[in-house]
Amino acid sequence: MKKYFVTGIDTDSGKTVASAILVEKLKADYWKPIQAGQPTDSDTVRSLISNDKIIHPEGIVLDAPMSPHAAAQLENIELKAAQFQTPETNNTLIIEGAGGLLVPINDSEFVIDLAKPFDAEVILVSRNYLGSINHTMLSINYLQTNNFKIAGIIFNDTPNPATESFILNYSKLPCLGRIEPLTEVNKSAIQSQLQNISL
């Protein structure tokens, strides 16, 4: 089973939108290990994809729309990376993180610490905004310095060729595609983006 861990340069970078596109493109399963707040990303993905795909139950759902370490604290729960195991499937699995790479799940572990024990290749979603070069380069630097397997980068929203070419030339990472700005994020918008992703 091939596993991809979809992370982003920040919260709201477009991980859920990218995950829905990847699930459709690869005919993959989807799993969100840590959900903080409602509506759940699993429900959002369900509303965006065709209904023959499998969405596995979340590892944990926390009430507060906050960093997982803080949302867990509010419920007197202690999260540990080691408590999460990928669901059983023979299919490709798209795993969505929460927020950016270094969002904490407790005092010493981060969301990205789930990717290696899951044996998942990382896909980094980089939304184009003023400031995204810095966020993207810091994220890549962390992943490369810490020897993560990186499948590549997906750029999201308004294209910025100068930003994208700098990031790709410097990092030498593959570009897995570009998600266009969508006037409405719905099933047909997701379908329209399948051709823009190569994986």
Ligand X SMILES: Nc1ncnc2c1ncn2[C@@H]1O[C@H](COP(=O)(O)OP(=O)(O)OP(=O)(O)O)[C@@H](O)[C@H]1O
Ligand Y SMILES: C[C@H](N)[C@H](N)CCCCCC(=O)O
Binding-site residues for Mg(2+), in ranges, read: 16, 43, 96
DSSP conformation letters of 21-38: HHHHHHT-EEE-SEEESS
Contact 140, 110 (CB under 8 A): no
Known binding residues for ATP: 12-17, 43, 96-99, 156-157, 181-183
Residue 94: beta bridge partners?
Answer: 4, 30
Our answer to whether residue 3 is catalytic in this structure is no
Residue 157: beta bridge partners?
Answer: none
Residue 185 found at the interface with ligand X (CB under 6 A): yes
Out of 4, 13, 15, 115, which residue is the one contacting Mg ion (CB under 5 A)? Answer: 15
Residue 11 found at the interface with ligand Y (CB under 6 A): yes
Residue 7 found at the interface with Mg ion (CB under 5 A): no
Site mask for Mg ion (CB under 5 A), range 34-73, x = bound: -------x--------------------------------
> Which of ligand Y, Mg ion, ligand X, none does residue 185 bind (CB under 5 to 8 Å by kind)?
ligand X
Residue 16 found at the interface with Mg ion (CB under 5 A): yes
CB nearer ligand X, residue 81 or residue 147: 81
Residues in the chain: 199
CA 100, 106, 109, 115 torsion: positive or negative?
negative
Structure tokens at 80: 């540990």
Query: Residue 133 to residues 10, 69, 101, 129, 161: CA-CA distances in angstroms?
Result: 12, 27, 15, 8, 12
CB of 51 to ligand X, least distance (A): 20
Footprint of ligand X (CB under 6 A): 8, 11-17, 41, 98-99, 156-157, 179, 181-182, 185
